[in-house]
Structure 1
Amino acid sequence: MADDVQGGRGGAPLGPYRRAQVALNVRVVPDVPSFAVDDGFAYAVPEGLDPTVGSIVRVPLGGRRVRGWVVATGAEARMGLREVLSMSGDVPAFDRALLGVLRWAAARYVAPLATLLAKASPPNIPRRGKAAGYAPLGSIESPEQPALRDLGTGSRTIVVAGRVPLAVLAALTGRQAAAGRTSLIVAATAAEADAVESELRGRFGERVVSGGSHRSGAEVTRSWVAGATEAGTIVVGTREVAAWPLAAPGLAVVLGEGRRGMKDKATPTVHARDLLAKRAAAERFSLVLSDVVPTAEALARAGSVSAIGSRGWGLVEVVDRRADPPGAGLLADVTAGALRAAVADGRRVFMFTDRRTTTMRCTSCRTIRRCENCGAAPGGGGECRRCGAPTGACAQCGGRRFEALGAGMSRVASEVARIVGADKVGEAGSGRPVLVGTERDLPMIAADLTIVVDADGPLMAPTYRAAEDALRLLARAVAAAGLGRGRRALLQTSDPGHPVIGALLKGDPVAFVREDSARRAALGFPPGGEILVVEAGGLPPGADRELAHEVGTRAAVLGPAESGGSLRWLIQARDLASTRAVVRGVVGRWREGGARVRVDADPIDL
């Protein structure tokens, strides 16, 4: 009992406490982003309050009053405990099943439990509305795809290669709603989530609610309450909704499961796909993971893949730039000719450029510039931006002059304007015949001809996932031209034999992703291995030795490397389950000492 009073494991911190026995006590995790409070503290429940697992409460902590979450309840009489001050709303943020998933996520992403519990909670106090219920739905047609017809009857994961049409989404979620089950749809961007919500709301009315960081706190809270309390709700949003509690969950659909928008950048770096996969197994609902190019992680979860249509994208033609003369500019002659012809015929053209990686080539021998150490595009500086190796003359001919094959939107627009006229060129949404854009614009583009200015840039991105990510990005750009007679995409490349280019020509990404996954597994990269990246600033002397000493016997520890005033380590092993607990202890001590620490589990950029 003394342990409870002193605030040790199982007890609340020092302060005023009750001297009489109480009938009920609860364990509360306070909303403090620290590993030190993960186990929670015991509090007495005064008369008039009836908290359950998941209840959001206010409790005393030291000299403060803080928000917290009830993670356990007990009927054993306890003495000397401080009391719960109040309950914030009457809707629990999670039940026992979801709590178990959030504990798993806290361990996987090496994050304080409170940061995960906060993800499951609304921004404002949740209060139940009047239980009016939803109007009954009429007959809902089954999806055309056989693999999707029986979803919602148990825990199943289905991987879909291709974009899920809105009509199919309506059929899937409508059948769930008619059966009194709640659906969750997660989109990669706010614009895509809004488009889905608008379509489904037109069909199903008020039972469709939305959430995400682009919505107001009041709107998000109303949607959160509806999803948590009204069975048959259809929740649509961005990655933030993946942790929301659901009343009678039947189905979750992840649209663009391989897109960057599905993963949090800040700690905890939760991936919506992985969180929902764990939830589907624990809460017994079906999960659809869709993308024009499925990830290796998704394929590892499901043995088979369902396709939407016979081909994921339309006709692709390759423009080989190896024979271009020096100073040829951004567009090859054949590309410029196709651009002129399309504009003359009144066709819509989309010029796609990727700003993240620009390919450089030698002006003498036309060879693409690669880092001799890691093979990535080294950029225009004196060292490789991925591995830090020095870059110098062309490895093929010794030349020292290089030219860019890609560029930003303004330069691309200027070159296109010289070919077809400035009045014909504009940004996405301008209504001009030729639109110049980036990945951000892809969801709103419908064209007859797509021109990829520099396909080699994504192929040479400085990450271990470059090939898969490049195929996904280029496939989305190509798909903007749609299917049908006269529609096509032109890919400018100086590496026409690259396997990614071959997969684009075939229109079948799955075989390539499986082969790339095997290559990554041989190197210990996800999903065949696990990686943690630890970034820290303001560390005390000897921190490097501490991490190597604590973790080095369990996993490979590479680094530290300096990056922007911080130190960066890579921790790699086939299985990091036991290592994560050790890293948690080291990170906790560093943070208590005032260091800034970020942990990224299975990072996208590496």
Structure 2
Amino acid sequence: MSSDNRRGSGGAEGAVPEQLALIREAVRKNKAPRAKPRTWRGAALAKELPVARVLVDKGVLHLDRYFDYAVPEELDAVAQPGVRVRVRFGAGGRNVREGRREGGSLIDGFLVERVAESDYSGPLAALAQVVSPEPVLGPELLELARAVADRYAGSLADVLQLAVPPRHARAEARETGPPPPPPGAPEPGPWLRYGRGAEFLEALAAGGAPRAVWTALPGPSWAEEIGRAVQATLASGRGALVVVPAGRPAARVDAALRELLGEGQHALLTADAGQERRYREWLAVRRGSVRAVVGTRAAMFAPVRNLGLVVVWDDGDAGHSDDHAPFPHVREVLELRATRDRCAFLLGGWTCTVEAAQLVESGWAAPLVADRERVRAAAPLVRTVGDAELARDEAARAARLPSLAWQVARDGLRRGPVLVQVPRRGYVPRLACARCREPARCRHCAGPLQAQDAGALRCGWCGREEADWHCPECGGSRLRAQVVGARRTAEELGRAFPAVPVRTSGREQVLDTVPDTPALVVSTPGAEPVAEGGYAAALLLDGWAMLVRPDLRAAEDALRRWIGAAALVRDQGAGGTVVIVAEPTLRPVQALVRWDPVGHAVRELAERAELGFPPVSRMAAVSGTADAVAAFLAGAELPADAAVLGPVPLPVPDPGRPRPVGAPPPGERWQRALIRVPPGSGAALAGALKNMQAARLARGGGETVRIRIDPPDIG
């Protein structure tokens, strides 16, 4: 970043007239004066490179630059690039002449570099303290954090808060040894099930950088397959990074790596580990003692040396999208790392997101899939129950279980546990046609329609009212929206199967595993425990409710959650059966029946391209009060090809429930505008929004406006 106009925590504004005259004369001659080493409060400054450029931990856009500080002689040895420092910053912290008391508050920061001279013409404030001599911010991590901040219209300090874990002195004091010798190249093992799986491992072991979108076969082998890809990368003398959405899949990959590599070959970075252990593991990675990392979201910034492979598992999971500004997504960050470090990239999951399909369609990555015969052999049998059958079914009215589902559950309980997936209690589905379940969309912008208090319909994107809605698919005019939670479902199933134990896994308590004994396991999506030996059967109830949620990716996400549950069921050769209660003609249901998530993602991508939806386009959400959003949009220099949708009111969270990310503060009514740009204009959009926000913050006193690039929910 340019160092023009940089100054310390309060560079001297009270210069004497002689100094001002010199500055004016130098500016007139286009020769800016340089700050010279001088004593500070009686202490000499460092003789070489006496100026430290510091990134202060403020996290506001108008201060998103480096500030110059003088390096006292006593801190010369420890004030090295990358260390944590403390500096005086603020209006009261203006640098003072000798004999006056220094004010300003002490804040944390990172020493980025040391230089011989400063571009600031006045005297510099001095570093107050070097917190630790451990250089935690290397140049590669700094460059990555800057790229992420620019992409998401955020500040560098905010990104570094996500990238560098909090310091723990005891962990820092522990010494780490050299890295273990590289393991041997692995055998392909389960990778032989995929058309080019063995070639992918061979390329990794040979030091290559293949990029692949991997659609994993159902079953528990995915963790071992990731472990073998990591082992192949380590065998080439390079490092590897694996990011999964939660602690449970991280534990499975951790166990697979321990079995393949033994102890000491990798680090586990998760929030569950605690601050000391997590920082100790992170330091081992930064120091080069460990060359492989498995972790959750924050591990995407792990400073792995000589990075050779990055892996993302289940990129459609909401756990990969950070809830703190500037809200980076793991998939995008690891794409940046793969491009910058020229390393291999593996995006895997049981399903395929639209973004993954776009990577393949653009040629950036190659598909890594099994042939149809292997898919059919590994997947369970999927059967459907539609609305017409439900209407005629007495069993469905008695216990919410249609006759087919009841029979499959009864047969499955003779052989093992049966999984029952129900939408979580907090789902608030948008409106859909009561006849064909097609989501109700705006005729102007294809946004989701929402019911107002007076019964009128209004678009959730552009705000237009819809007076006379008719379904474009079947011509129906009736709408539907309702859902039943997991607790009530467990009670009803307990009455239907009184002799069978019923276990629940959800928000209050998430089970990790269940034994291979007959039981009904009622779970919300994403909380399904793993059954030893696989489930005998699975029932996916209220499937339509997941399809009509207020989300652009409702169909994709519903299919991902269905397949995530069905993948835990035994294959159909072992009698594994899945029953989904949803209209069988709907595209996601058909994709589940055929076990074809890639085909579904390709068709979704084509439709989004036609409508101009992400990821074909880039979007940003601007939220705040009506006046603040209007003023922001009026002042922002948006790209010429930008389209503004809205603004529309944001829903007020229910009292007593957790406030969603981006929701208005309690007692305030906010609006949100969506800004859409075509491919190629994403960087310009992010830059325009970042500049406008920085200008607002520099002026001070304005109302809060929140920016989010690529919001996960634009419904």
The TM-score with structure 1 as length reference comes to: 0.88
**Contact 2:623/2:629 (8 A) holds in 1:** no
Q: Is the CA contact (8 Å cut-off) linking 2:11 and 2:123 kept in structure 1? A: no
Aligned length in residues: 593
- Correspondence 1:94-105 to 2 at 5 A: 94-105=137-148
Cross-structure match for 2:7: 11
Q: Decide which moves more: 261-270 or 38-47.
A: 38-47
Q: Which amino acid is the alignment partner of residue 315 of structure 1?
A: L
Task: Tell me if structure 2 keeps the 8 A contact 1:107–1:581.
Answer: yes
1:172 is paired with a residue whose SS is: helix
Offset of 1:41 from its aligned partner? 0.8
**2:405 pairs with 1:335:** yes
Instruction: Tell me the distance in 2 between the aligned counterparts of 1:528 and 1:323.
Output: 38
1:30-429 residue pairs with structure 2 within 5 A? Answer: 30-47=56-73, 48-49=76-77, 51-62=79-90, 63-76=104-117, 80-125=123-168, 127=172, 129-136=174-181, 139-143=184-188, 144=191, 145-146=197-198, 147-151=200-204, 153-162=207-216, 165-202=222-259, 203-301=261-359, 302-307=364-369, 310-311=374-375, 313-325=379-391, 328-329=396-397, 330-343=400-413, 345-355=414-424, 356-357=427-428, 368=437, 370-371=439-440, 373=442, 382=455, 386=460, 404=482, 406-421=483-498, 423-428=500-505, 429=511
Partners of 2:203 and 2:210 within 8 A in 1:
no
Counterpart pick for 1:479 among 564, 567, 572: 567
Out of 483, 493, 502, the residue aligned to residue 582 of structure 2 is 493
Q: Distance in 2 between matches of 1:391 and 1:333?
A: 40
Separation in structure 1 between the aligned mates of residue 338 and residue 481 of structure 2, nearest angstrom: 50
SS of 1:505 mapped into structure 2: helix
SS at match of 2:575: coil
What is the CA-CA distance between 1:137 and the residue it aligns to? 5.5
Matches within 5 A, 1:515-594: 515-537=603-625, 541=627, 543-551=629-637, 554=640, 555-563=642-650, 564=652, 565-574=669-678, 575-591=681-697, 592-593=700-701
Contact 1:193 1:237 in 2 (8 A): yes
Deviation string 1:5-55 (CA, Å, 9 cap, x unpaired) is xxx722213268963575312321100011122121112233333545433
Could you say what secondary structure the match of 2:528 adopts?
helix
**Contact 1:155 1:286 survives alignment (8 Å):** yes
Deviations 1:151-198 (A, max 9, x none): 272544221112662322332223333444322211111122123223
Q: Which amino acid aligns with 2:574?
A: R
Q: Let me know the Cα RMSD of the aligned residues.
A: 3.3
1:459/1:467 contact within 8 Å kept: yes
Gapped runs of 5+ residues in structure 2? 13-34, 40-44, 91-103, 192-196, 506-510, 653-668
Contact 2:239 2:307 in 1 (8 A): yes
CA distance in 2, matches of 1:399, 1:271: 38
Q: Is the contact between residue 350 and residue 437 of structure 1 (CA under 8 Å) also seen in structure 2?
A: yes
Does the 8 Å contact 2:502/2:520 carry over to 1? yes
509-518 or 179-188: bigger deviation? 179-188
Q: Is the 8 A contact 1:534 1:600 kept in 2?
A: yes
Partners of 2:542 and 2:269 in 1: CA distance: 36
In the TM superposition, what is the alpha-carbon distance from 1:390 to its structure 2 partner?
A: 7.2
Tell me how far 1:370 sits from its aligned partner: 5.0
SS in 2 for 1:526: coil
- In terms of Rg, which structure is larger? 2
Which 5+ residue runs of structure 1 have no aligned equivalent? none
Q: TM-score, normalised by structure 2?
A: 0.75
- Would the alpha carbon gap of residues 171 and 546 (structure 1) be closer, same or farther in structure 2, given more than 3 Å must change? closer
What do the CA deviations read for 1:378-422 (whole angstroms, capped 9, x no partner)?
Answer: 68985579457579999777779x684x42111211222232116
Secondary structure at 1:132's aligned position in 2? coil
Query: Which residue number in structure 2 is paired with residue 442 of structure 1?
Result: 528
Distance 2:107 2:421 in 1: 49
Aligned to 2:659: none
Contact 1:269/1:600 (CA < 8 Å) preserved in 2? yes
- Partner SS, residue 247 of structure 1: coil
Q: Return the alpha-carbon distance in structure 2 between the equivalents of residues 392 and 418 of structure 1.
A: 43
Contact 1:357/1:377 (<8 A) preserved:
no
Tell me the secondary structure at the aligned position of residue 439 of structure 1. coil
Q: Do the aligned partners of 2:435 and 2:476 also contact (CA within 8 Å) in 1? A: no
With over 3 angstroms needed to count, the CA separation of the structure-2 counterparts of 1:155 and 1:44, relative to structure 1, is farther
CA contact (8 A) 2:176 2:284 kept: no
Distance 1:248 1:303 in 2: 21
Please tell me the residue identity of whatever aligns with 1:304.
A
